[in-house]
Chain A
Amino acid sequence: MVYFINDIITGALIGLLYALVAMGFVVIYRASKVFNFAQGELVIIGGFIVWFTTMQAGLSLWLSIPLSLVLAGLVGYAIERTFLTKLIGESVFSMVMVTVGLLILLRGLVLLVFGPAVRPFPIIFPLKPLFVGDMLIPMNLLIGGIITIVAAVGLSWFFNRTRSGLRMTAVAEDHVVASSMGISVKGSIAFAWVLGAILSTIGAMIFLSGKSLTFLASDIGFAALPVALFAGLESIGGLILAGVIIGVAQSLTTNYLDPLIGGSLGSVVPYIIMLAILLIRPTGLFGWRTIERV
Chain B
Amino acid sequence: MDPSGIFSTSYRSDRRVVRTRWQALALVVFMALMLAAPYLVSGRIIAILNMMLISAVIAVGLQICTGYAGQINLGQAAFMGVGAYTASILASKTGLTFLLTIPLAGISAALFGFLFGLTAARIKGFYLALTTIAAQFIFHFAVLNLPSSWMGGSNGITVPPAELLGLRFVGETSQFYLNLAVAAIMIAGAFGIVRSRFGRAFVAVRDDDVAAGIMGINVAATKANAFLIGAFYAGVGGALWAYLIRFVGVDQFTLFHSIFFVAMIIVGGMGSIVGALVGVFVIRIIQEIIATVGPNIAESVSFLGGDIVFAGMNVVLGGVIAMFMILEPKGLMHRWNILKSSYRIWPFPY
Contact = CB atoms under 8 A, between A and B. Distances in A.
Interface stretch (B89-97, B168-176, B195-203, B302-310): B302-310
A94 B308 CA distance: 28
B52 to A, nearest CB: 21
A275 B134 contact: yes
A241 interface: no
A149 B313 CA distance: 39
A223 B317 CA distance: 24
A227 to B, nearest CB: 12
B188 interface: no
Residue with the highest number of chain A CB atoms closer than 10 Å, among B70, B133, B308, B321: B321
Given A101-B318, A101-B319, A292-B210, A279 B119 contact: yes
Contact of A278 (B131, B307, B319, B322): B131
Contact of A264 (B124, B145, B312, B319): B145
B326 A278 contact: no
A266 to B, nearest CB: 10
A249 B52 CA distance: 43
A76 B222 CA distance: 38
A229 interface: yes
Nearest to A86: B326
B314 A108 contact: yes
B121 to A, nearest CB: 8
Interface string A77-121: 000000100110010011011101111111111011001110000
Contacts of A125: none
B74 interface: yes
A252 interface: no
B311 interface: yes
Contacts of A272: 138
Nearest to A226: B134
A96 B126 CA distance: 9
Contacts of A271: 134, 137-138
Contacts of B134: 226, 271, 274-275
Contact of A87 (B124, B208, B326): B326
Contacts of B282: none
Contacts of A294: 208, 210-211, 214
Nearest to A38: B318
Nearest to A101: B321
Given A108-B314, A108-B318, A279-B119, A229 B127 contact: yes
Contacts of B259: 100-101, 103-104
A35 interface: yes
B141 A98 contact: no
A106 B318 contact: yes
A22 interface: no
28 contacts: A83-B326, A87-B325, A96-B129, A97-B266, A97-B321, A97-B325, A98-B326, A101-B321, A101-B325, A104-B256, A104-B259, A104-B315, A105-B319, A108-B313, A111-B304, A111-B307, A111-B314, A112-B315, A117-B303, A225-B130, A225-B133, A229-B130, A267-B137, A268-B137, A271-B137, A282-B122, A282-B124, A294-B214
Report, nearest first, the 8 A-B pairs whose CB atoms are least far apart.
A105-B318, A108-B314, A101-B321, A108-B315, A263-B145, A111-B311, A104-B318, A104-B314
Interface of B: 70, 72, 74, 119, 122-124, 126-127, 129-131, 133-134, 137-138, 141, 144-145, 208, 210-211, 214, 256, 259, 262-263, 266, 303-305, 307-308, 310-322, 325-326, 329
